[in-house]
Chain A
Amino acid sequence: MFPRAFEYVAPASIEEAIAALKGSEFAKVMSGGMSLLPLMKLRLVSPELVVDIGRISGLDSIDDRGDMVSIGALVRHYQTAEAQNVPRALAQAASYTGDVQVRNRGTTVGAVVHGDLAADQPSAVLALGGVIVAQGPNGTREIAADDFFVDALTTAVEPDEVVTAVKVRKDGMSAYDKLGRRGGRTDYAVAGAAAWLQKDNGSISDARVGLTGVAAKPTLANATAEALIGTDGSDQAIEEAAAKAADGLTILEDLYGSVEYKTHLARVFAKRAIKRALSA
């Protein structure tokens, strides 16, 4: 099994990568290739040009940038999972991504840009108020995670842009939890949730909750976050807030669960993620 024929370039700089993208009718950027290559082998995607950014230097570090942590485009899942300065929700989501082989090759930024609704890290980036840094022919722009996920496997990146980093906020408490397709936390998520919280004088002053696997795209559970703010974070407050996890959202069924089951899981994992964040 192999992909349709394509041209391949491995540019040495982001500028070269952008120039290659600009000169092609249908090019795809590849970092680890853990999502792109299966799609190409199944011939669901057949780009005429693959731009392998894997040889570009300077994209493989995790850096503190003021109140954010910046994860470079070539940082692999296991590095995100193990780094001390990555917020817990994203580190946990990275540690539960795929399996060892996937975590060795796949990248956090690649997972975010791919935007799979069942992938773990996009909802963590949402909950952590993430910012996606994209470089194109007209310079660099920063896209809020809230505006980044457009629809199923569709993100706000333009065809001639390369995402160079994803930034997430360092403050507050956060956590991620999921149900994997093979039970436990292994494999793609059936459903999962990331929670980010801030506490002030014993009450929750700010909150964001991101959901994996239940809607067409990584989605914020705004009703849960709003219900949580101002409470003391007691078990009852969490229970009541998490019960609203699916409010206002279009929950989709798939091979792994009905709308009812996915709605249930959204509530369960919103609750677990919030509790886990508070127990940090």
Chain B
Amino acid sequence: MTVNGSRWSGDVPARQTLCDFLRDELELTGTHVGCEQGACGACTILGDGEAVRSCLMLAVQADGMELTTIEGMGEPGNLSTLQAAFLRHRAFQCGFCTPGFLASAAEILGSGRRYSRRELRDMLSGNVCRCTGYEPIVEAVFECQR
């Protein structure tokens, strides 16, 4: 598989989830693990450009895929457009949900289509912010569509 542009090949235990593989084997701990059962969306990453929950995929299922985690989206001093918009809008409080939201938002922007705030709320409904800071998150994504 390819993770953030780097090729990786090797064996993984059948029962290892993709999020555990990313965090424990590749030490990419920016992918956060919340509910671990497909409800909270914190572990969302991009798999072949699509937002996927890395806690609900086995690592072995990612064989041959191209993955992008938060570590592949930008870095301090060189933030992605979305990250900069999140910062500008203060679209995070504790920050735990942020990597997942950024992955979901990246798929939305990648589509090249423009959505209303209402549609964006629906499209981001697979991610939960327990600080309940949804307004600035939706605003940040909405702004990036322009």
Contact = CB atoms under 8 A, between A and B. Distances in A.
Given A33-B61, A52-B61, A101 B20 contact: no
Contacts of A50: 14
Interface stretch (A37-45, A117-125, A127-135, A208-216): A37-45
Given A7-B14, A101-B52, A34 B123 contact: no
B73 interface: no
A6 B61 contact: no
B57 A33 contact: yes
Name B's interface SS: mixed
Nearest to B37: A38
A256 interface: no
Given A41-B36, A98-B126, A100-B51, A2 B56 contact: no
A41 B15 CA distance: 9
A20 to B, nearest CB: 14
Name A's interface SS: loop
A34 B56 contact: yes
Nearest to B50: A104
B98 interface: no
Interface string B57-91: 11011010000000000000000000000000000
B69 to A, nearest CB: 15
B15 A104 contact: no
Residue in A42, A101, A184, A186 with the greatest tally of chain B CB atoms within 10 Å? A101
Nearest to B56: A37
Contacts of B47: 104
B60 A38 contact: no
B20 A2 contact: yes
Contacts of A6: 14-15
B15 A4 contact: yes
Interface in A1-33: 1-8, 10, 33
A247 B31 CA distance: 49
A186 B122 contact: yes
Given A3-B15, A5-B15, A101 B37 contact: no
A55 to B, nearest CB: 8
B145 interface: no
A6 B50 CA distance: 28
A104 B57 contact: no
B17 A2 contact: yes
B38 A1 contact: no
Nearest to A184: B122
Given A98-B126, A100-B104, A101-B52, A34 B38 contact: yes
18 contacts: A2-B15, A2-B16, A5-B14, A6-B14, A6-B15, A10-B63, A37-B17, A41-B17, A42-B37, A98-B126, A99-B125, A100-B51, A101-B53, A101-B104, A102-B126, A104-B47, A104-B52, A105-B56
Given A5-B14, A37-B38, A104-B50, 12 more contacts: A2-B16, A4-B15, A10-B60, A33-B56, A38-B56, A100-B104, A101-B51, A101-B104, A104-B47, A104-B52, A104-B107, A105-B52
**Leading 7 A-B pairs by shortest Cβ distance:** A99-B126, A8-B14, A1-B36, A104-B50, A101-B126, A38-B37, A101-B53
